[in-house]
With several copies, the nearest count.
Chain A
Amino acid sequence: METQTNSRLADLYAMMRRIRTFEERVGELFVRGQSAGSMLHLSIGEEAAAVGVGTAMRDGDTFTTHHRGHGVFLARGADPRLMMAEIAGKETGYCSGKGGSMHIADMKLGHLGANAIVGGGIPFVVGAGLAARQKSSDSLSVAFFGDGATGQGILYESMNMAALWRLPVLFVCINNQYGMGTRIDNATADPDLYKRAIPFGLRGASVDGTDVEAVAEIAGKMITDARAGKPGFLVVDCYRFYGHARMDKSPYRDDAEESEGRLRDPVIKARETLISRGEIDGSSLDEMDQNIAAEMDATIDFAADAREPQLDSIFDDVYDPSTPPPESVRGRLARILGQRQ
């Protein structure tokens, strides 16, 4: 269910609000003890990155995300109920309860997977780009990752390959200023990350991540260039509003910084812009928010009511279903000891 309006910004706002509300509900799922584990990384504060880039992509484009990837997936059309069910580890979820928050994926929507390895999904887009070229398709592939992933060498390898082969690929770094407890200036001598891509032959740019229209605009340009064989590296500057994961209270950063950081709010900013431009009034926005809240509320019950995976499904999908599953430890034991009696 997507709210459609006549204002482009209002559409972007609606999607950002959906993400914000979804993430808040993920937090509730955890508090209710219904999430599978506590490794839940919320993308609150990063909505403009997800929606700005997401909206610049097309059907048929593919993407990879990271451990903080709920927002991007929603921006690309995910069903929040199936997401929530997956986060709860249920069979009904996108990945049958095996993947969870950090390994969510949907091939139908071009989501080649979230990744719990920092930087792990980056090189996939190089392969996707090669496939597009080989199949003469004009689809593009986007790698989303955090500023922390700029510490991983694989990023530079992949950027080098993308530039060398002129692939339809965009690298998007969501710079929320932190990798766990490490602020970006404690992870590098020069936090102007976008500059690093340029000597490899990519377009490099950085954009204010509170301004969803600005993100959409530059992402659109860079995507056009990338489809034409000039891949890019886009840094979206924003702030991680809350802790690294659900349990982290961010004791390593001071309150002043945090309150200031939370003022960099892409959702509020879009809302204010909409009202000041007169594109939509406050009560319509409230109504929109309430509809979204209702939709997202329902995801929790959906997830809670969803079926648990069957125990013996643990042996499914290690290999293609046409081949025999691995023998269980118990099965082998029974066979070996059984035949001795």
Chain B
Amino acid sequence: MGKTTYRDALRQALSDSMTTDPNVVLIGEEVGRYGGAYGVTKGLIDEFGPDRVIDTPISEPSIVGAAVGAAMSGLRPVAELMYVDFIGMTMDQLANQAAKIRYMFGGQIGVPMILRTQGGTGRSAGAQHSQSLEAYVMHTPGLRLAMPATVSDAYHLLRQSMAQPDPVVFIEHKALYATSGELDDQTPVVPWGKAHVPRQGDDLVIVTYSRQLHYAISAADTLAKDGIEATIIDLRTLNPLDIDTIRTHVERCGHAMVVSEGVMTAGVAAELAARISEECFDFLENPVIRIAGEDIPISVSPLLETNSVPTPELIVDAARMMRS
């Protein structure tokens, strides 16, 4: 497919899935005529019609609940939550219903739905439109969690998510939609549940996902000039978590940093740090360092916003402190 954008790759994945499987329907606010708040679903309503690309009223709890019911009735719904910040009003349907139905009903049925949404900072959108709330999802057994960082994963990870037998929360990053990259259909892609290691070095492992991957890569370039060579792990999915890949590299390097845009306390970075600390205890020469969002809401002021989440500079400084 060649060079494309994260946004277009997502659209392509939806379109390809819809073409192959007539049970795939999109349901959400502005997914149809408007084409999605971030343009991801643009044109799909023309291609697949309003019965499969369903514009809804502004009713997040019922959108997710309708997706649950649809998935139990043989469809493969892709529900869209315009901002992950709105997940709070859907957590009952997501965590008490979608996540638990297979289990509570003794394995009678699964809920193969996707909840597509986007999060993160970068648009001065303020405290209620800039959050990274993946920790709520990761803490909920029964929900898979995928977070693509690259154009390739915008396509492949979404396709993989759509093949899952269980509910997947798929969180895009608002600052990545316009990023571009190569999308090759031919090369073997990283399988579902496996991390990707785009860079290998011996001094330090940086475990990350979503937009922070790019910050980590840019930090690693800077660090390389100081002679600090980092391995970078892009987790791709937080559930399943590819602990084997993490362990292999951390045992080799002895220094680990986890980088997440979500708020630090009781967040994804906490889980990753705890996990690495327990799995690789005897190999660690330093505590696992958590670089994460500050324990504060996000401001609209761009200056404050930028400094409320990890920056490449912070990653560089932390790595230097670790390896000094």
Q: Do A and B bind each other?
A: yes
B104 A103 Cβ-Cβ under 8 A: yes
Instruction: Write the B20-49 contact mask toward A (1 if CB under 8 angstroms, else 0).
Output: 001101010110011001000000000000
Contacts of A118 in B (CB 8 A): 58
* Bound complex: CA A146 to CA B213 (Å): 39
The yes or no answer to A196 lying at the interface (CB within 8 A) is no
B86 A105 Cβ-Cβ under 8 A: no
B67 A127 Cβ-Cβ under 8 A: yes
B57 A309 Cβ-Cβ under 8 A: no
**Stretch from B198-206, B225-233, B300-308 that touches the partner:** B300-308
The yes or no answer to A77 lying at the interface (CB within 8 A) is no
The yes or no answer to A218 lying at the interface (CB within 8 A) is no
**Stretch from A7-15, A150-158, A204-212, A221-229 that touches the partner:** A150-158
A126 B314 Cβ-Cβ under 8 A: no
The yes or no answer to A1 lying at the interface (CB within 8 A) is no
The yes or no answer to B65 lying at the interface (CB within 8 A) is yes
The yes or no answer to A322 lying at the interface (CB within 8 A) is yes
B102 A153 Cβ-Cβ under 8 A: no
Pick the residue among B56, B92, B102, B295 that contacts A117 (CB under 8 A): B92
B37 to A: closest C-beta gap in Å: 7
Are A340 and B281 also in contact (CB < 8 A) when A313-B304, A318-B141 are?
A: yes
B126 A103 Cβ-Cβ under 8 A: yes
The yes or no answer to A95 lying at the interface (CB within 8 A) is yes
* Bound complex: CA A188 to CA B66 (Å): 16
The yes or no answer to A314 lying at the interface (CB within 8 A) is yes
| Residues in A204-258 with C-beta less than 8 Å from chain B | 252
* Bound complex: CA A40 to CA B97 (Å): 20
Contacts of A94 in B (CB 8 A): 105-106
B196 to A: closest C-beta gap in Å: 20
The yes or no answer to B264 lying at the interface (CB within 8 A) is yes
The yes or no answer to A134 lying at the interface (CB within 8 A) is yes
Contacts of A105 in B (CB 8 A): 104-105, 108-109
A318 B142 Cβ-Cβ under 8 A: yes
* Bound complex: CA A319 to CA B98 (Å): 11
A95 B291 Cβ-Cβ under 8 A: no
A124 B321 Cβ-Cβ under 8 A: no
Give how many A-B residue pairs fall within 8 Å (CB-CB): 314
Instruction: Write the A127-160 contact mask toward B (1 if CB under 8 angstroms, else 0).
Output: 1111111110000010000001111111001101
Contacts of A5 in B (CB 8 A): none
| Residues in B271-324 with C-beta less than 8 Å from chain A | 278-279, 281-282, 286-287, 289-292, 294-297, 299-304, 307-308, 310, 314, 317-318, 321-322, 324
* Bound complex: CA A187 to CA B97 (Å): 25
Pick the residue among B55, B164, B304 that contacts A311 (CB under 8 A): B304
Greatest chain A CB density within 10 A among B59, B107, B289 is at: B59
B289 A130 Cβ-Cβ under 8 A: no
Pick the residue among B22, B105, B308, B310 that contacts A113 (CB under 8 A): B105
The yes or no answer to B123 lying at the interface (CB within 8 A) is yes
Interface size of B as a range: 35 or more
Contacts of B266 in A (CB 8 A): none
B291 to A: closest C-beta gap in Å: 6
Pick the residue among A90, A308, A326, A328 that contacts B141 (CB under 8 A): A326
Pick the residue among A116, A117, A127, A333 that contacts B66 (CB under 8 A): A127
Contacts of B93 in A (CB 8 A): 120, 123
Pick the residue among B23, B66, B125, B324 that contacts A134 (CB under 8 A): B23
A336 B300 Cβ-Cβ under 8 A: no
The yes or no answer to B191 lying at the interface (CB within 8 A) is no
Are A132 and B300 also in contact (CB < 8 A) when A180-B34, A320-B166, A321-B107 are?
A: no
The closest CB in chain A to the CB of B100 belongs to A103
The yes or no answer to A39 lying at the interface (CB within 8 A) is yes
* Bound complex: CA A315 to CA B294 (Å): 9
Pick the residue among A116, A132, A182 that contacts B128 (CB under 8 A): A116
B69 A126 Cβ-Cβ under 8 A: yes
B103 A329 Cβ-Cβ under 8 A: no
B73 A62 Cβ-Cβ under 8 A: yes
* Bound complex: CA A164 to CA B59 (Å): 13
A130 B66 Cβ-Cβ under 8 A: yes
A181 B97 Cβ-Cβ under 8 A: no
A309 B29 Cβ-Cβ under 8 A: no
| Residues in B103-161 with C-beta less than 8 Å from chain A | 103-110, 123-129, 141-142, 144
B301 A157 Cβ-Cβ under 8 A: no
* Bound complex: CA A141 to CA B289 (Å): 48
Which residues of B are in contact with A by a Cβ distance under 8 Å? 22-23, 25, 27, 29-30, 33-34, 37, 51-52, 54-62, 64-75, 77, 85-86, 89, 92-93, 96-97, 101-110, 123-129, 141-142, 144, 164-166, 240, 264, 278-279, 281-282, 286-287, 289-292, 294-297, 299-304, 307-308, 310, 314, 317-318, 321-322, 324
Q: List 15 A-B contacts (CB under 8 A).
A: A37-B302, A99-B127, A103-B105, A112-B69, A124-B97, A127-B66, A128-B73, A130-B70, A148-B57, A313-B304, A314-B299, A317-B103, A318-B295, A321-B107, A333-B321
The 8 closest A-B pairs by CB, nearest first: A123-B65, A127-B69, A37-B124, A100-B300, A124-B69, A127-B70, A181-B34, A151-B57
Given contacts A36-B124, A113-B105, 15 further A-B contacts (CB under 8 A): A89-B300, A102-B128, A102-B129, A117-B89, A120-B96, A123-B69, A127-B68, A130-B25, A151-B57, A158-B59, A158-B65, A179-B29, A330-B317, A332-B278, A337-B321
Which residues of A are in contact with B by a Cβ distance under 8 Å? 36-39, 62, 64, 89-90, 93-103, 105-107, 112-113, 115-135, 141, 148-154, 157-158, 160-161, 164-165, 179-182, 186-188, 252, 308-309, 311, 313-323, 326-330, 332-334, 336-338, 340-341
